[in-house]
């Protein structure tokens, strides 16, 4: 297997993203191409989750956020939703020990109120088990949507105003961000979506404001180490400007 290692290409840790966010898409189409039921694609996709978690941990990436199930995905056929919920539970039960051994801190973001008690318990246990780990922070977005996140943060902020603890006129970005699901973590530097779709699909709307976006036609179950490396190389070649000019950024970097 010929691989392209960004470090071998002279790309040091400074050009690696701190936080990668991924929309793992294309499981259904992968299955369809193989004349298999959609559920077979979801099953196969678990292997790609393992691959990307290992690849990020190996490279010292600090945070990985994976979109596993969106709020809008409840509208899918009931059998598919049921299969996905079972798959989450099984994958969690079979993977958590290994994640813990590898110092991964597992967290979940999303509403999650509609999940089964069994799944909620397993998620809470995995979270507690790995809470003090200091390696890769792995956020799994389940029953998540970016609009839901912004709305729930707004409600919590509004309650503070109602209680007289905060003045509406003085609300800052920091006041707002403290209530968002990913508070305390760096914003994603690199976003990856597989399957050729070039949209955000209600993922991290607030946090993706300045994220570099990478799209690949590869379907999620076909993910390889090379695709991850290609995304990292793409990232290392971007000049992030955050509204400044390119020249300003260059002089900042050389200072």
Catalytic residue among 25, 143, 149, 189: 25
Q: Which long-range contacts (CB under 8 A, 24 or more apart) does 231-234 make?
A: 231/20, 231/190, 231/192, 232/6, 232/11, 232/16, 232/17, 232/59, 232/190, 233/4, 233/6, 233/9, 233/11
Span 2-61, contacts to Mg ion by CB under 5 A: 25
User: What 3-state class would DSSP assign to 82?
Assistant: helix
Task: Provide the edge-to-edge strand list for the sheet that holds 137-144.
Answer: 105-109, 137-144, 63-70, 19-23, 190-193, 212-215
How many residues of this chain bind ligand IPE (CB under 6 A)? 17
Q: Examine residue 216 and tell whether it contacts ligand IPE (CB under 6 A).
A: no
9 is catalytic: no
60 vs 196, beta carbon nearer ligand IPE:
196
Q: 219 — phi, psi (to 5°)?
A: -80, 145
Q: Considering only residues 6, 70, 110, 146, which one is a binding residue for ligand IPE as defined by CB under 6 A?
A: 70
Of these partners, ligand IPE, Mg ion, none, which one is at the site of residue 235 (CB under 5 to 8 Å by kind)? none
The stretch near ligand IPE (CB under 6 A) out of 13-21, 24-32, 113-121, 170-178 is 24-32
In the complex, minimum distance from the CB of residue 173 to ligand IPE, in angstroms, rounded to a whole number: 26
Determine phi and psi for 108, rounding to 5 degrees. Answer: -125, 140
Which residues contact residue 90 at a Cβ distance below 8 angstroms, ignoring those fewer than 6 apart? Answer: none
73: annotated active-site residue: yes
Return the number of the residue (25 or 143) whose C-beta is nearest Mg ion: 25
Q: Does the footprint of ligand IPE cover residue 23 (CB under 6 A)? A: yes
Nearer to ligand IPE, 16 or 204 (CB): 204
Note whether 229 and 56 are within 8 A (CB). no
Residue 33 or 97: the one with the smaller Cβ distance to ligand IPE is: 33
Helix axes 78-101, 38-59, angle to 10 degrees: 20
Residues that bind Mg ion (CB under 5 A): 25
Residue ranges that bind ligand IPE, judged by CB under 6 A: 23-29, 67-70, 73, 84, 195, 197, 199, 201
């Amino acid at each position: 297997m010929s691989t392209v290692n960004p470090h071998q290409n002279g790309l040091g840790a400074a050009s690696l993203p701190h936080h990668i966010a991924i929309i793992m898409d294309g499981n259904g189409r992968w299955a369809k191409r193989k004349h298999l039921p959609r559920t077979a694609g979801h099953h196969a996709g678990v292997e790609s989750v393992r691959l990307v978690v290992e690849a990020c941990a190996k490279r010292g990436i600090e945070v990985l956020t994976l979109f596993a199930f969106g709020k809008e995905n409840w509208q899918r056929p009931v059998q598919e939703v049921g299969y996905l919920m079972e798959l989450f539970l099984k994958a969690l039960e079979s993977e958590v020990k290994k994640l813990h051994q590898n110092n991964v801190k597992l967290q979940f973001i999303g509403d999650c109120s509609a999940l089964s008690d069994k799944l909620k318990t397993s998620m809470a246990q995995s979270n507690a088990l790995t809470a003090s780990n200091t390696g890769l922070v792995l956020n799994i977005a389940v029953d998540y949507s970016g609009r839901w996140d912004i709305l729930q943060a707004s409600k919590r902020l509004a309650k503070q105003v109602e209680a007289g603890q905060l003045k509406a006129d003085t609300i800052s970005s920091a006041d707002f961000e403290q209530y968002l699901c990913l508070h305390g973590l760096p914003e994603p530097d690199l976003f990856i979506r597989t399957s050729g779709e070039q949209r955000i699909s209600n993922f991290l709307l607030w946090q993706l404001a300045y994220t570099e976006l990478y799209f690949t036609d590869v379907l999620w179950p076909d993910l390889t180490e090379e695709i991850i490396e290609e995304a990292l190389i793409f990232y290392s070649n971007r000049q992030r400007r955050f509204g400044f000019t390119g020249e300003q950024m260059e002089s900042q970097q050389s200072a």
